[in-house]
């Protein structure tokens, strides 16, 4: 496939971390080739002032450039249902970094997907195989972009690849070892409906052969249905959230022949990733937990189940992706929570759902516009010995750049106001 790129006009569409990796890779392969770069943002020329042989297509009309190129390497963040993208897709012009890597990688790929738990499972598999002295690389969302690694890839290399639905969308090849953790409604602003999202996820196993392996959560009805159609050797696992992540990683370790002793050693020494039910500490007698990566109701329900009845204050709400909050509202009503700190816009949706289920209001609800005010209210209203939990059941984009910014601001203000 790489040779085919030589005489084609190539456009790199989307110039974030992955787009830059695509550019550097193609520049090494084809040093004299003029490459197109398209992005809605306009600040890239100033960021790369000395780059030669580039045709820039930046700003609001960037998609008009698509008709002038033979191959478009699209970044996952560029929406799939824009008219220009759909047209180019039908014409067979669109590919992705993931597709190019899968088609050309001489080593083994372990692909991990699921609505939640991907990063933790990916990191844990990497640690387990590392303990087994295998030549492993951490790639995808959690690690490095992959294309430049192709230049030095060998059959002995193993790539532990975290795969989002966006990266899996339209793939025509599956990894030799696939891990499928769970499937909940998510990214409904990107896909036409939940079914399209589920079909994208299913690509992780769709093209596997009987020589391949599928590690899957048989407790998840939808994942189980997808697994039943797979030709791969099936390795069923069970567990809830973090215990599911561990079960999946251990199963992959066994596939690679890592000893039980080494698997247990890697699991024991593994430090959980930040922003995933992360214990921040005790401040003014209150325990604080940062679960900023909770972007769907199911993960907030799981956090409440995990922490139990000591949760007295919970931060909820964020960007509206059209998710249903009824089950979350029911779970909150069963809890001992007293304080709801609500971010726009779904904070109000969750509040309305709670009110519709309960005629008598058992909560103090605070609508806030920033993290600073929210944390101040948490300290003021949470009693000593109780828990304050940031687990918003919604994406962060209404007020924050991403979940990391939200979680880091939470920790910053907790530590600041916990001292005074």
Average pLDDT for the chain: 94
Q: Where does residue 47 rank: exposed (0-12), middle (13-18), buried (19+ CB within 10 A)?
A: exposed
pLDDT of residue 263: 97
pLDDT of residue 45: 72
Confidence of residue 337 (pLDDT cuts 50, 70, 90): very high
pLDDT at 224 over 70: yes
Query: Coil, strand, or helix at residue 358?
Result: coil
Percent share of the chain, pLDDT over 70: 98
pLDDT of residue 360: 73
Q: Where does residue 321 rank: exposed (0-12), middle (13-18), buried (19+ CB within 10 A)?
A: middle
| Mean per-residue pLDDT, 340-348 | 97
Q: Are residues 359 and 406 in the same domain?
A: yes
Tell me what percent of the chain is helix, strand and coil, each rounded to the nearest 5: 40, 20, 40
Q: Are residues 112 and 250 in the same domain?
A: yes
> In the structure encoding, which two tokens stand for residue 140, read together?
């995808």
pLDDT at 177 over 90: yes
Q: Are residues 90 and 112 in the same domain?
A: no
Q: Are residues 39 and 188 in the same domain?
A: no
pLDDT at 237 over 80: yes
pLDDT at 142 over 90: no
| Mean per-residue pLDDT, 167-178 | 97
Q: Are residues 108 and 251 in the same domain?
A: yes
Q: Are residues 88 and 105 in the same domain?
A: no
Q: Are 179 and 110 in contact (CB under 8 A)?
A: yes
Residues 6+ away with beta carbon under 8 Å from 227: 180, 205, 214, 216, 218, 234, 236
Among 74-83, 101-110, 199-208, 355-364, the least confident range: 355-364
Checking DSSP bridges between strand 278-283 and strand 286-290, what pairing results, if any? Answer: antiparallel
CATH code for position 338:
3.90.190.20
Q: Are residues 36 and 141 in the same domain?
A: no
Domain end position, chosen among 214, 248, 269? 269
> Helices 242-255 and 260-269 sit at what angle, rounded to 10 degrees?
150
Q: Are 381 and 374 in contact (CB under 8 A)?
A: no
pLDDT of residue 44: 77
Backbone angles phi, psi at 305, to 5 degrees: -65, -40
| Termini Cα distance of the chain | 61
Confidence of residue 212 (pLDDT cuts 50, 70, 90): very high
Q: Where does residue 274 rank: exposed (0-12), middle (13-18), buried (19+ CB within 10 A)?
A: middle
CATH code for position 259:
3.40.1190.10
> In the structure encoding, which two tokens stand for residue 342, read together?
């609500």
Residues 6+ away with beta carbon under 8 Å from 167: 76, 96, 97, 98, 140, 141
Backbone angles phi, psi at 346, to 5 degrees: -75, -15
Among 58-72, 185-199, 352-366, the least confident range: 352-366
pLDDT at 294 over 70: yes
**pTM for the structure as a whole:** 0.92
Q: Are residues 59 and 198 in the same domain?
A: no
Backbone angles phi, psi at 363, to 5 degrees: -120, 155
Cα-atom radius of gyration of the chain, to the nearest Å? 23
Segments forming the whole domain that contains residue 324: 278-417
pLDDT at 169 over 70: yes
Q: Are residues 368 and 288 in the same domain?
A: yes
Domain end position, chosen among 28, 63, 95? 95
pLDDT at 236 over 90: yes
pLDDT at 359 over 70: no
Q: Are 31 and 51 in contact (CB under 8 A)?
A: no
Q: Are 284 and 384 in contact (CB under 8 A)?
A: yes
> In the structure encoding, which two tokens stand for residue 402, read together?
């991403």
Domain end position, chosen among 206, 240, 269? 269
| Mean per-residue pLDDT, 47-68 | 90
pLDDT at 3 over 80: no
Residues 6+ away with beta carbon under 8 Å from 190: 79, 80, 166, 197
pLDDT at 1 over 70: no
More confident residue, 277 or 50: 277
Q: Are residues 170 and 144 in the same domain?
A: yes
pLDDT at 143 over 90: no
Q: Are residues 283 and 382 in the same domain?
A: yes
- From residue 156, give the alpha-carbon distance in Å to each of 50, 109, 233: 37, 11, 22
pLDDT at 50 over 80: no
Helix ranges (DSSP H) in 186-325: 194-206, 221-228, 242-255, 260-269, 297-307
CATH code for position 44:
3.40.50.720
For the beta sheet containing 35-39, the strands, ordered from the edge strand earlier in sequence to the opposite edge, are: 54-58, 35-39, 10-13, 71-74, 94-95
> In the chain, how many domains are there?
3
Q: Are residues 235 and 360 in the same domain?
A: no
């Amino acid at each position: 496939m790489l040779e085919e790129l030589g005489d084609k006009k190539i456009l790199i569409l989307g110039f974030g971390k992955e787009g830059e990796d695509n550019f550097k890779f193609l520049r090494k392969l084809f040093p004299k080739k003029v490459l197109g770069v398209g992005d809605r943002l306009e600040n890239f020329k100033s960021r790369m002032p000395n780059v030669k042989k580039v045709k820039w297509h930046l700003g609001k009309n960037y998609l008009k450039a698509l008709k002038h190129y033979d191959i478009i390497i699209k970044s996952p963040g560029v929406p799939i249902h824009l008219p220009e993208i759909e047209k180019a897709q039908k014409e067979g012009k669109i590919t992705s970094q993931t597709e190019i890597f899968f088609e050309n990688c001489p080593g083994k790929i372990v692909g991990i997907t699921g609505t939640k738990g991907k990063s933790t499972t990916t990191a844990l598999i990497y640690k387990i195989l590392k303990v087994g002295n295998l030549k492993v690389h951490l790639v995808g969302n959690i690690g490095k972009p992959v294309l430049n690694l192709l230049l030095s890839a060998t059959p002995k290399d193993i790539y532990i690849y975290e795969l989002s639905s966006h990266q899996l969308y339209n793939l025509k090849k599956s990894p030799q070892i696939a891990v499928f953790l769970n499937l909940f409604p998510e990214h409904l602003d990107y896909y036409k409906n939940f079914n399209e999202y589920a079909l994208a996820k299913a690509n992780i196993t769709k093209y596997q052969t009987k020589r391949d392996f599928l590690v899957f959560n048989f407790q998840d009805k939808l994942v189980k249905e997808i697994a039943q159609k797979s030709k791969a050797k099936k390795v069923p696992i069970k567990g809830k959230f973090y215990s599911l992540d561990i079960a999946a990683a251990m199963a992959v370790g066994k596939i690679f022949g890592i000893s039980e002793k080494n698997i247990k050693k890697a699991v024991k020494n593994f430090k959980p990733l930040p922003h995933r039910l992360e214990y921040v500490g005790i401040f003014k007698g209150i325990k604080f937990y940062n679960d900023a990566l909770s972007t769907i109701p199911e993960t907030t329900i799981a956090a409440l189940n995990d922490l139990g009845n000591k949760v007295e204050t919970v931060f909820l709400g964020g960007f509206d992706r059209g998710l249903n909050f009824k089950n979350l509202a029911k779970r909150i009503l069963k809890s001992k929570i007293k304080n709801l700190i609500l971010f726009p816009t779904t904070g109000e949706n969750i509040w309305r759902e709670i009110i519709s289920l309960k005629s008598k209001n058992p909560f103090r609800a605070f609508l806030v516009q920033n993290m600073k005010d929210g944390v101040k209210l948490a300290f003021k209203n949470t009693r000593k010995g109780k828990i304050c939990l940031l687990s918003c059941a919604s994406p962060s984009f209404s007020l924050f750049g991403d979940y990391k910014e939200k979680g880091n601001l939470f920790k910053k203000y907790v530590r600041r106001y916990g001292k005074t």
